[in-house]
Amino acid sequence: MSTTSQLSGFYTLSSTERLERIARQADLTAEETQALAGALGLTLPHADAMVENVIGMYTLPLGIATNFSINGRDVLVPMVIEEPSVIAGASLAAKLARAGGGFVATADAPVMIGQIQLVDVPDPHASKVEILAHKEALLAAANQVDPVLVKLGGGARDVQVHLLDTAPTMVIVHLLYDVRDAMGANAVNTACERLAPQLAALSGGRALLRILSNLADQRLAYAKVAIPEAALAFADFSGADVAHGIEQAAAFAAADPYRAATHNKGIMNGIDAVVLATGNDWRAIEAGAHAYAARGGRYTALSTWRRDGRGALVGTLELPLALGIVGGATRVHPTARVALKIMGVQTARELVEIVISVGLAQNLAALRALATEGIQRGHMSLHARQVALAAGATGADINRVAEAMIAQGTIRPDIAEKLLRS
C-alpha cells in the first residue's frame, strides 16, 4: 500500500513507467495493472450487463494526482477526466497544502433522504400527526427491507413530514436512511416503495412519487486547508498578493451567481474526476452540489477562502457527497475497483474525505492561477498537444507540433496540419 504521495519526477515518466510505479506502490496484481492499461478493464459482456442496447465502449484518460495528504495520510488519487490541467492543478494545490499540514476532512453519517409524495390528502395537518404517531412502526417496516444493512449498523433513522405550500397541500414524507458504505439509491428507493401503502392509508390520500432526494444534505462532507502565505509565492507574485487575490476571487463567487457557477464548476472538475474513477454516480453528485449551492434561495460559492490574519490562507469546502464503495458500478467495473485500491480506502467515508479534499484542491489551483497569471498559460501546452493529436500527429510528432505551435503563439488545427505536413 502507498506510503507517500510525493512521487518526484512522476510527471516526466512515460505513461507505462508511471503505471509500473503506481502498481508497485499500490501493490497491484498483474490483473489489476492490466485493468488500468485498458487490456482487462470493462469488457463488452460487463458493459452489456450494466446498461441497455450496448454496442461498444467509450474510454477516458485516468491519471494520478500526487502530493495529497488527507487527515495525516498520504493518498494517490486516481482521476478520470478529458480536460487538460485538472490533474496537474490538483497535484500542485496538494503540494501547496502540504506546507500547512495537508487537508483536514470529515463527513456526516451516510444518511440519505427518501421522499414519498402523498396527494389528495383530505386533512394534511391531521395526517402529519397520524404519520408521526406511527413513526416507530414505519421505521421497523423500513428496516425489514435490508436486514444485512441493519446488521452492519445502517437502516431507517427517522421519518419527517413536510406540508408543501401547494393547492391543494401536498404531504411529503422524508425517510432518513443510513446506507453505510453504499451510495444508497437502491436501498432508499426500495424502502420508500415499501412504506408508501402504509403512508397512503395513514394519510387517507394516495402515494405518488417514491424516490430518494439528490439534495443529500444529511450526508455532507467538509474539508479545510490552511496554507502559510509564504508558500503561495511564485514567479513575481508574493505570497501575500496570491492569498489576497484568492480571497477576493472567493468573495466575487460568494456574491455573484455568474461567477459562482464557474467557481463551483472548477470544484466539480476535481470531484467528478474521482467520482467517475470509482464508478460512482456523478450526476447525483452534481445535482446535490448545485442544489446545495442554492439552498439559501440564491446560488452561491461552495467554498470559502479567507486570510486568518496570522499569515495563513484558510479554505473550506462543504457539500453533499453520496458516494459508495459497494454496489453499483464500484464493484462491477474492474478499473473502479483498482481506483479504490490505489487510494487504500476501506469505507465510503474515507472515499468521501478524499473526494471533498480534491474538490478544495482543484478550487485552490483554479483561483491561484486566475488571481495571478491567468489559466491560459498552463492550459496551452496540453491544449496544443490535443490539437496536434486531432490533426493526426503520432508519437514524437505530438510534442514537436505542439511546441512549434506554442512558439508561434497560435494553436489551431490548420496550423497543426501544416506543421505536420512540413
The DSSP secondary-structure symbol of 10 reads G
Q: Report in angstroms how near the CB of residue 6 gets to ligand MEV at its nearest.
A: 25
Task: Restricting to residues 338-367, name those near ligand MEV by CB under 6 A.
Answer: 366
288 is written with which cell numbers?
446535490
Q: Which is nearer to ligand MEV, 196 or 267 (CB)?
A: 267
Residue 266 binds ligand MEV, judged by CB under 6 A = yes
What mask, x for binding ligand MEV by CB under 6 A, covers residues 367 to 386?
---x----x-----------
Residue 293 binds ligand MEV, judged by CB under 6 A = no
Q: Which is nearer to ligand MEV, 261 or 287 (CB)?
A: 261
Main-chain dihedrals φ then ψ at residue 82, nearest 5 degrees? -95, -10
What mask, x for binding ligand MEV by CB under 6 A, covers residues 75 to 94?
--------x-----------
Task: Choose among 250, 252, 231: nearest CA to 240.
Answer: 231
Give the total residue count for the chain: 422
Distance CA 292, CA 151 (A): 31
Give the catalytic positions in this structure: 83, 265, 281, 379
Binding residue for ligand MEV, selected from 210, 263, 333, 385, defined by CB under 6 A: 263
**Cβ neighbourhood burial of 395 (10 Å; 0-12, 13-18, 19+):** exposed
Binding residue for ligand MEV, selected from 18, 73, 174, 265, defined by CB under 6 A: 265
By the 8 A CB rule, do 249 and 372 touch?
no
Q: How many CB atoms lie within 10 A of CB 304?
A: 16
Judged by CB under 6 A, the stretch of 36-44, 262-270, 329-337, 347-355 that binds ligand MEV is: 262-270
CB within 8 Å of 143: residues ≥ 6 apart: 150, 155, 156
b/e 307-327 (16+ beta carbons within 10 angstroms → b):
eeeeebbbbbbbbbbbbbbeb
Task: Choose among 365, 389, 291: nearest CA to 65.
Answer: 365
Q: Report in angstroms how near the CB of residue 375 gets to ligand MEV at its nearest.
A: 5
The DSSP secondary-structure symbol of 124 reads H
Residue 248 binds ligand MEV, judged by CB under 6 A = no
Q: Where are the alpha helices (DSSP H) in 38-172?
A: 44-50, 86-98, 124-133, 135-143, 147-151
The site for ligand MEV, by CB under 6 A, has a size of: 9
Judged by CB under 6 A, the stretch of 93-101, 158-166, 261-269, 389-397 that binds ligand MEV is: 261-269
Q: Which is nearer to ligand MEV, 253 or 393 (CB)?
A: 253
Residue 262 binds ligand MEV, judged by CB under 6 A = yes
Q: Which is nearer to ligand MEV, 161 or 249 (CB)?
A: 249
Q: Report in angstroms how near the CB of residue 266 gets to ligand MEV at its nearest.
A: 3
Q: Report in angstroms how near the CB of residue 265 gets to ligand MEV at its nearest.
A: 5
For ligand MEV, the binding residues (CB under 6 A) are 83, 262-263, 265-266, 269, 366, 370, 375
